[in-house]
Amino acid sequence: MTRFGQLFNLLGLFMALLEILHFPDQRLRKKATAVTEITAKIRQLAEDMLETMYDAPGVGLAANQVNVQKRLVVIDVSEDKSSPLIFINPEIINKQGEREHEEGCLSVPEAYELVTRADTVRVKALDLDGVAFELDADELLATCIQHEIDHLDGKLFVDYISNLKRQRIKKRLEKQFKQQR
Ligand code: ZN
């Protein structure tokens, strides 16, 4: 391999930006399956998803959004992008209260709508070493966890808004992404 090739490979390894699917792409509706083994491929996917999320920029990304139907989610709600969280096979084991929060989504660009979800959640997941952990979340993190787990089940935040609004967003994005091709 040439030195140039090696450099390219190195850059590719650390900075692989993944393509994000956009609503109404039907691949976003596929249900993700559990991660059964944390392989090098899964670790690389988590790294690439974080890069892709920071680059976008966004605060959360589910594997479905990059066309991988595995139950893997990355989140960072910190101001300075210093607190990456990786959830493998996440499950909400407790929910409390209700709160309305304005949501957006990297798969639904430039659309922001109010969605009512649980106010606080307790989530159970595996980390990249396969170790189980539980986390209590409130505020933006609670919203984000619920939003991302929805993705794993093929659900989008626009499913919670009126049909009229959803159709409007759908038409706009269909037009926008057709023009880009
Ligand atoms: Zn989303």
Per-residue pLDDT of the chain (181 residues; tens, 9 = 90+): 445 444 545 555 556 899 999 999 999 999 999 999 999 999 999 999 999 999 999 999 999 999 999 999 999 999 999 999 999 999 999 999 999 999 999 999 999 999 999 999 999 999 999 999 999 999 999 999 999 999 999 999 999 999 999 999 999 999 998 876 5
Is residue 173 within 8 A of residue 116, CB to CB? The reply is no
Pick the catalytic residue: 47, 103, 113, 148? 148
Using only the alpha carbons of the chain, give its radius of gyration: 17
* Ligand 1 geometric centre to CA of 131 (Å): 25
β-bridge partners, 16: none
Q: Taking Cα atoms as reference points, which of 148, 147, 154 lies closest to residue 30?
A: 154
* Block residue for tokens 């040439």: 2
148 is catalytic: yes
